[in-house]
Amino acid sequence: MSRYRGPKLRITRRLGTLPGLTKKKSKKIDRPGQHGKNLGDSKKKTTEYGIRLEEKQKLKFNYGLSEKQLYHYIKEARRRKGITGLILLQLLEMRLDTICFSLGLTPTIAAARQLVNHGHIIVNNRVVDIPSFQCQLGDIIQIKTSYQTKFLAEHSDKIPYNDIPAHVEFFEKKLEGHVKNYCSREDILLDLNDLLVIEYYSRR
């Protein structure tokens, strides 16, 4: 399955707030679908599989991943020593598009992905146009010099879009960010139980 390109508010009505997907809020409070109005919080799907599935879907839609990409990150997190759930989140947070979002350069991860795809981001003095590029500690992320004027003209009153988490540092005048450390659970904006995601993939 390719990356989701459909209605975003439909997803947030089902899964809750997904800061990486959209900042918009739906006026509707019911879950989407034909029977959404008949499903209150006490009546919605509560099977163990259903709960784990929804947690996995939160991760997938928030970071804009395909099923294949997410499973790849799961396998990599299992391979490394440490707490698998935290390592998984750290791998996702070190993606270049997520770092741009964390630095407040864009309002969502989806917008950050577009910024990277168009070749406007420089990592350690080298243009990188791959959103899934894994940043390392000490990396310096900048807006391409030739694009800075246009970027400031369009976004100067909004930068930074988000509160800057502790694991990165942003220098507004230079439009430059530094990766200082790996993220902690407190830095993650997404309300997620990562243990349920690991349990979802435990049989694969």
Domain boundaries, the chain: 8-91+189-200, 95-181
pLDDT at 9: 87
Residues 6+ apart with CB under 8 A from 72: none
Task: Extract the residue ranges of the chain whose pLDDT is less than 50.
Answer: 1, 42
pLDDT at 2: 57
Alpha-carbon distance of 141 to 95, in angstroms, equals 12
Q: Are 14 and 36 spatial neighbours (Cβ–Cβ below 8 Å)? A: no
Domain 8-91+189-200 and domain 95-181, same fold? Reply is no
Distance of CA 56 to the CA centre of its chain: 13
pLDDT at 156: 84
Structure tokens at 2: 């390719």
- Domain 8-91+189-200 coded CATH 1.10.10.10: no
Alpha-carbon distance of 123 to 125, in angstroms, equals 5
pLDDT at 36: 52
CATH for 95-181?
Answer: 3.10.290.10
Q: Report pTM.
A: 0.88
Which letter does DSSP use for residue 95 in this model?
B
Q: By C-alpha distance, which of 166, 157, 160 is closest to 143?
A: 160
